[in-house]
Chains A and B, each alone.
Chain A
Amino acid sequence: MSGRQPVLTMTAISKSFPGVRALDGVDFRLFPGEVHALMGENGAGKSTLIKVLTGVYAHDAGAIELAGQQVSFTGPMQAAAAGVSTVYQEVNLCANLSVAENIFIGREPRTFGAIRWGEMRRRARDLLAKLDLHIDVTQLLGTYSLAVQQMVAIARAIDIQARVLILDEPTSSLDATEVEQLFRIMRQLRDEGIAIIFVTHFLDQVYGIADRITVLRNGRLVGEYPTAELPQLALVEKMIGKELDVLESLEEQSKRDLAAIEANTPFLQAEELGRKGSVTPFSLTIHAGEVVGLAGLLGSGRTEVARLLFGADRADHGKVAVDGKPTALRNPIAAIGHDIAFCSENRRTEGLVGELSVRENIILAMQAARGWLRPIPRRRQDELVDKYVKALSIRPADPEIPVRNLSGGNQQKVLLARWLITEPRLLILDEPTRGIDVGAKAEIQKLVVQLSDGGMAVLFISAELEEVLRLSHKIAVMRDRQLITELANDHTVDADRVMQTIASGTHHEGPQA
C-alpha cells in the first residue's frame, strides 16, 4: 500500500465552532481500492471531518488534495462532481419517485429538453445489475426495503463517477443479511478501485470489511492502523482513551447485594399482569434502590412489559400495587403521578422534540407534571437544566441549541435528564444505550448505578446481556412474550447461563446476544 499514491490526502485539517475546537490538525489518507473505517466516539470529529471533505463546512486550516490536485469544495454537489460522493445514514432520496428517477434525477438523459424515460430505465437497470440488484426500476423507491434504498443511494453515488465513496453509518438500520449484501457491494466497488470511507459504530463490521482504520478522539488524530494489526480491545482503548477504566470499575462493583435490597419495601408489585396478544401475565416486584434487568431476544416482549408498567398499554389482566397500595396504571399520566418514568427506545419518534432546544426538551416532563397553567420560572429552569447538563455531561453543553443537532448518545442523555428532573422513584430504561458509542454507554451505565445507590428503582431493558449482567440486582428473563424466570444476579450467573435460560425449552434458536 505504501508504494501507491493516495487518492485523497487531508493534511493538518482544523475546524473550530464557537467554543469548540472540532478538528485539531487532523491528517487523513485514503488509497484507491481500500475500505477505510473512520472510528471515534460521538463528538470525536468524524462527521466534521467528512463535512469538511464534502464542502459542507469550510476548514480553518489545512489542505485537501484529491488525486494530486489541491481542492476545496463549496458543497456536496461540487464534491460529487469531482468524484467524492456521500451516502448518508438516513437515505436521502425521494420515496415518491421511481427507483430509476432517484438514480438519475438532475442528470436525466434528454433530447430537446424532454426526458428519455426508456433510456433512463435501461441505464438504471444496467447500473443496479452491476451491483447485483435486480429490481423493477419503474416502481416507487418507497415500496422497497431500507436496504434496497440504501443500495439505490450507492448506485446514484457511484454513477457520478465516484472515486471516493463515503458511507456514513449506512448499516445502522439494516439487519444481518442486508449488511452482508451491502458488504458484498462494498467489496466489489473496492475491487474496482473505488476508495471507500466507512463510518460505523459496529466494531464487528469494521473487522468484517475494513482494510485500514483511522481513529479520532476529541477532534485529534489518534492514529492510522491496518485492521489486522489492531486488536479489537486496542481499538476501543484508542477510541475512548482512559475512559475504559470506567467500564472496568463498574465490572468490579457488579454482583451487588440483593439481600440488602430485598429488605427494602417493594416499590411496585405487579401480580399476574398481562395483556392479550402482547404479554402473557407475569408477576414482578421492584424494590426501591433495585436495578431489575429485563433480558430476552428482540421481540420477546421486553418493551411490552415496560409499556404495561407505564400505562402506555392498558393491562387486561392482573393487578398492580405501588407502595403496597393497589392502583390501576391506566395511562402514562397515572404512572407519572406515581413517580414512574419511561425512557422509550425510539428516542427520535417517541421521546424528543427535535426542533426544541435541549432546555425545552428537558423541562417538558416536569412542566407536564406541574400542569401547563403553572409555568416553571426561567431562572429555575436554567438552574435545573444546568445541573443535569453537567451531571450527565451532555455535549455540547449549550442548553439552547436544538436537540436534533446533538449526537445519538447525547440525545439519549437529554431524554434521561428530562425524566430525572421529575425525580422519579421508578425509572424504566428501554434500550438506553443502543446506537450510542462506548464512552456514552459507560456514562449511562455509571449513572444507573449512581441512581440506584441513591434509592431509585430501575427497570433496565437491553439486548446486550453484558450490560444487563453488569448493572442488575436481579434479571427477569423473557421469552416468546412470557416472563420465564427471575435470576438473582449472584456469582453463579453469567451470560452463558442467561442465554441457556433463554434458549431452554422447545425451540432451539441460537442466542443472538
Chain B
Amino acid sequence: MTTTSLTPTRDWWRIPQRYVPVLATLTLLLVMYAVGVSQYRAFSNVQVVFNVFIDNGFLLVVAVGMTFVILTGGIDLSVGSVVAMTAMMSASLLQGGMDPGAVLVIALLVGPTLGFLMGCVIHFFEIQPFIVTLAGMFFARGMCTFISKSSIPITDPFWTTMAQERIGDPKGNFVSISVLVAFVVVLIGAFVLAYTRLGRNVYALGGNQQSALLMGLPVGQTKIAVYAISGLCSAIGGILLSFYTLSGAPLIAVGMELDVIAAVVIGGTVLTGGSGYVFGTVLGVLVLGVIRTLITFDGSLNSWWTKIVIGGLLFAFILLQRLIGIRKK
C-alpha cells in the first residue's frame, strides 16, 4: 500500500472542514456590517462597533462558559437565572452596606458553586444536563424573588465608577470596563481550550465519552469542571450586568440562556459536542449584536424582528452543521 492512498485529499486552497462554520459566521458578520455601512451613514462610526461590545459584554462572558459546556455535548439552561441571581445578590448585599470587595468575592463564589453542584448531579447520577440545569434555572430564578420582589438600585461608588468609567481614544470613542473584562475572559477561555489538558479533555469528552474513558481521561472531573466554569462565567456576567444597569432586578435576563445558546451555535460550535472555538462564539455574539443594531438603526422595524432573524440564522447554521456532518460520512 502506498502512502498516498492513506492521506485524505487535501489541497492547499481547501479549508479544513472544521473551520467552515466559523468562517461562515465571519462572512455573515462582515456582510451584515457592510449592509449596515451602505445603508446608514452613521453605521461606519467606530463607536457603533464599540457599542455592540458594550451592550453585549456580559452576554459574551456567559457565552464563553456555555461554549465549554456545549463542547462536551452538554447544555446549561441555568445561566440566565444565575446571571440575574448574581446581580440581585450583589445589589442586595451592597444595599445592606457590605464592602464592595467582599460582595464581589461572594458573588463570584455562588455561581460556580451552583455549577459545581449541578455538574456533580449530572456526573454521579448520570442525569441529563438538560433537566439538571433546568432545575438549577428554576432554583436561581426563585432565589432572585426570594431576595427581593422588586428591583434594587445600586448606589455604591465602586459600582458607579465601573459603570461610568470610559476607556477611550482621543477622538472620543470609548469602551466600558466590562468590555475589557469580557476580553480577558475570552482570552483565558480560548487559552484553556486550546492549550491545557482540561481544554483538550473537553473536546475529547464531546467527541466520544466512551473512548475518553478508555483512554484514561478524567471524564467525571472534566464534566463537573465545565458546569463550574459556566457558573463562574455566569457570575462574572451577572456582575457585568449589574455594572451595566446599576441595579438588580428579579426578572432581568429571562430567556437569556437561549440567546447565549443561539450565539454559541451560530458561532459554529456543534450542539452534539466536540467541535467549536471560543473565537466562533465571539463572532456569534457579535452577529446577534449587529442584528439588534441594524434593527435599531432602521427604526421602523419592530424589535421582534431580532428574534425572527436569530431564529432563521439558527436554523441555517444547524443545517450547515448537519450537512458537514453528512458529508463526512
Contacts and interface: CB of A to CB of B under 8 A. Distances in A.
Interface stretch (B152-160, B178-186, B205-213, B245-253): B205-213
Contacts of A97: 200, 203-204, 207
A108 B195 CA distance: 10
Contact of A93 (B197, B201, B211, B328): B211
Contacts of A76: 214, 216
A385 to B, nearest CB: 28
B207 A95 contact: yes
A61 interface: no
Given A88-B214, A97-B200, A140-B18, A133 B207 contact: no
A92 B275 contact: no
Nearest to B203: A97
A148 B196 CA distance: 27
Contact of A106 (B195, B215, B275): B215
A101 B10 contact: no
Interface in B163-203: 191, 194-197, 200-201, 203
Contacts of B204: 94, 97, 101, 105
Interface string A56-91: 000000000000000000001100100000001000
Contact of A134 (B6, B195, B214): B6
Contacts of A133: 3, 6
Contacts of A142: 328
Contact of A94 (B7, B208, B216): B208
A143 interface: yes
A94 B197 contact: no
A114 B217 contact: no
A139 B14 CA distance: 13
Contact of A177 (B1, B207, B217, B274): B1
A106 B8 contact: no
A144 B6 contact: yes
A115 interface: yes
Contacts of A172: none
Given A106-B216, A115-B195, A140-B18, A92 B211 contact: yes
B67 to A, nearest CB: 15
Interface in B8-23: 8, 10, 16-18
A135 interface: yes
B64 to A, nearest CB: 19
Contacts of B203: 94, 96-97
Contacts of B274: 94, 96
B197 A95 contact: no
Contacts of A381: none
A367 interface: no
B290 to A, nearest CB: 30
Contacts of A126: none
A88 B212 CA distance: 14
A253 interface: no
B8 A144 contact: yes
B90 to A, nearest CB: 32
Interface in B59-107: none
Nearest to A110: B197
A11 interface: no
Contacts of B211: 92-94
A135 B215 contact: no
B209 to A, nearest CB: 9
B168 to A, nearest CB: 34
A130 to B, nearest CB: 14
Contacts of B3: 133-135
Given A136-B10, A139-B8, A181 B200 contact: no
Interface in B216-260: 216-217
B200 A101 contact: yes
A96 to B, nearest CB: 4
A77 B216 contact: yes
Nearest to A80: B216
A105 B10 contact: no
B238 to A, nearest CB: 28
Contacts of A117: 195
Contacts of A108: 197, 200
Interface in A103-138: 105-106, 108, 110, 113-115, 117, 133-136
A115 B274 CA distance: 18
A77 B216 CA distance: 6
Nearest to A114: B195
Contacts of A93: 208, 211, 215
Interface in B258-281: 274-275
Given A96-B203, A133-B6, A148-B6, A106 B210 contact: no
B8 A105 contact: no
Contacts of A139: 8, 10, 16
Contacts of B196: 113-115
B100 to A, nearest CB: 32
A145 interface: yes
A108 B203 CA distance: 14
Contacts of B208: 92-96
Nearest to A102: B215
A105 B200 contact: yes
A105 B1 contact: no
A122 B57 CA distance: 39
B6 A135 contact: yes
Given A88-B214, A114-B196, A136 B201 contact: no
Nearest to A160: B216
A478 B16 CA distance: 42
Given A94-B207, A95-B208, A106 B197 contact: yes
A178 B5 CA distance: 11
B74 to A, nearest CB: 15
B223 to A, nearest CB: 15
B206 A136 contact: no
A92 B195 contact: no
Nearest to B272: A96
Contacts of A177: 1
Given A94-B208, A95-B208, A106 B6 contact: no
A114 B197 CA distance: 8
Contacts of A178: 1
Interface string A238-252: 000000000000000
Contact of A135 (B7, B206, B275): B7
19 contacts: A88-B214, A93-B211, A94-B208, A96-B203, A96-B274, A97-B200, A97-B203, A106-B215, A113-B195, A114-B191, A114-B196, A115-B197, A140-B16, A140-B17, A143-B328, A144-B6, A156-B215, A177-B1, A181-B1
Given A135-B6, A148-B6, 8 more contacts: A94-B207, A95-B208, A97-B203, A106-B197, A115-B197, A115-B200, A135-B7, A144-B8
5 closest A-B pairs (Cβ-Cβ)? A94-B207, A96-B207, A77-B216, A96-B274, A92-B211
